[in-house]
Amino acid sequence: MPFLIRQITETMHNMQPETLVTTLGRRPDREQGAVNPPVHHASTILFKTLADLEAAEAGRYAHSTYGRYGTEGHRLLEQALAELEGGSHTLLCGSGASAVSLVLLALLQQGDHVLMVDAVYSPTRDLCQRMLRHYGVETTYYDPLITPEELQTLIRPETRILMVESPGSLTFEVQDVPGLAAAAHAQDVLVVADNTWATPLHFSPFEKGVDISVHAATKYICGHSDVMMGAVVTRNEKLHRTLFKTYKVLGPCAAPDDVYLAQRGLRTLAVRLQQHERSALQLAEWLQQQPEVLEVRHPALESCPGHAFWKRDFSGSCGLFAFSVQPVAREALAAMLDHMRLFKMGYSWGGYESLILPFDPQPIRSATEPAADRQWLRLHAGLEHVDDLLEDLQAGFARLRAYG
């Protein structure tokens, strides 16, 4: 099988995140001294000997066998991400959504049941409601703040997967992942986490009972708003092999140039995150003091649902959080948003630039009812100077006020 992870010669587990992201998945000694890995554009991979070809066919060839399974650059990034999370294997996909689909399609069959967090990324919900339902897989949505005891009552003999996303990327409820994972494992249910918000640096999924960690690497790992990528990390070879069988037939492999850009993004992940985190906290604190603001949803604030779990289980936060204001006329909202100088409207997040997005959680919930009497907005604090970001927000609030 082409996904053997090479043993790293020295153990680096006791090193700090800044060191790990700059060190893992690089081998200048094998690249004529070049600091960064090569990019191999390949469909066909040639075998030198009949023995090599036979080894490939028997799944015993140590290198890539075909472009659809990625090449050397993929192996290095896979290894880096696996090591960062304390896992053993990674599969790289062409988007975060394809990474999520890969996992659910690989592990579920007709008659199976999934427990899905109600705050899940909405295309993941669509996957369950459309494809999986048509394939005879049933999904039950649960409150992100459910206790392990309550979760137990939802587990059925046919429940195969518990999916968590902590915090949710719109409403930011933090989940009791270790508690829920223990309840799931007691009934042989696999735990899948969408770990995009925390990145591999701020939440260690395997230590917290997760079996499969999924990332939209599009966000902070790539970090420059120019690449779509997903990653599926496991620490169990058997599970990896199961996922790989589906990876082979769906063909969601990430492209070599994108893998290179993701590698490059990874090198600065730790320092970028520190700045995103610092700015977002400052903006969140400012927002808390504005009279129009009803609530700030930032996992590091005590007022955030599940904050105690964030404090217990995470080593940091990032630039993404939400807040809500009293209901406003559409024109007032447009006056605020259309003239922002730095906070631009757009999907995705995790790049160097700041973003603002109005959203309505109501249509994408079924087990819980987020407050409807308000306007929700999500912010991504980019790498601009926080004083400029604050000024932009202040001016936006002034335009909102001028309307009321």
Binding site for ligand PLP (CB under 6 A): 95-97, 121, 165, 169, 194, 196, 216, 218-219, 228, 230, 348
Biggest alpha carbon–alpha carbon distance for the chain: 77
From residue 252, give the alpha-carbon distance in Å to each of 26, 43, 220: 24, 14, 20
Least distance from ligand PLP to the Cβ atom of residue 384, Å = 21
Q: Which of 52, 66, 68, 399 is catalytic?
A: 68
Rounded to whole angstroms, the Cα distance separating 127 from 190 reads 18
**Structure token digits, residue 154:** 């939802």
Which of 219/307 has CB closer to ligand PLP?
A: 219
Which of 216/239 has CB closer to ligand PLP?
A: 216
Please list, residue by residue across 158-173, b when 16 or more beta carbons sit within 10 angstroms of its beta carbon and e when fewer do: ebbbbbbbbbbbbbbb
Which of 112/194 has CB closer to ligand PLP?
A: 194
Q: Is there a contact between 222 and 350 (Cβ–Cβ < 8 Å)?
A: yes
Least distance from ligand PLP to the Cβ atom of residue 168, Å = 8
Q: Which of 69, 121, 142, 247 is catalytic?
A: 121
- Which of 214, 380, 203 has its CA nearest to residue 309? 203
Q: Which residues contact 216 (CB under 8 A, 6 or more apart)?
A: 95, 96, 97, 99, 121, 194, 196, 229, 230, 350
Which of 113/219 has CB closer to ligand PLP?
A: 219
Least distance from ligand PLP to the Cβ atom of residue 264, Å = 17
Place of tokens 């927000």: 393
CA 36-39-43 angle, 5° bins: 160
Q: Is 338 a catalytic residue?
A: no
Instruction: Identify residue 320 by its one-letter amino acid code.
Output: L
CA 134 to chain centre: 26
Least distance from ligand PLP to the Cβ atom of residue 320, Å = 8
- Which of 116, 101, 135, 242 has its CA nearest to residue 191? 116
Q: Which of 26, 75, 125, 219 is catalytic?
A: 219
Least distance from ligand PLP to the Cβ atom of residue 347, Å = 8
Rounded to whole angstroms, the Cα distance separating 388 from 402 reads 21
Which of 119/146 has CB closer to ligand PLP?
A: 119
Residue nearest to ligand PLP (CB): 96
Least distance from ligand PLP to the Cβ atom of residue 242, Å = 21
Quick count: other Cβ atoms within 10 Å of Cβ 296? 22
Q: Is 219 a catalytic residue?
A: yes
**Structure token digits, residue 187:** 């009934």
CA 392 to chain centre: 28
Least distance from ligand PLP to the Cβ atom of residue 96, Å = 2
Which of 97/162 has CB closer to ligand PLP?
A: 97
For the purposes of burial, counting CB atoms within 10 Å of the CB of 274, is it exposed (0-12), middle (13-18) or buried (19 or more)?
Answer: middle
**Structure token digits, residue 122:** 């909405």
Counting Cα atoms < 13 Å in the Cβ hemisphere of 222 gives 27
- Which of 264, 392, 271, 257 has its CA nearest to residue 338? 392
Which of 64/90 has CB closer to ligand PLP?
A: 90
Sign of CA dihedral 221, 248, 39, 4: positive
Which of 64/195 has CB closer to ligand PLP?
A: 195
Least distance from ligand PLP to the Cβ atom of residue 112, Å = 21
**Residues with catalytic function:** 68, 121, 194, 219
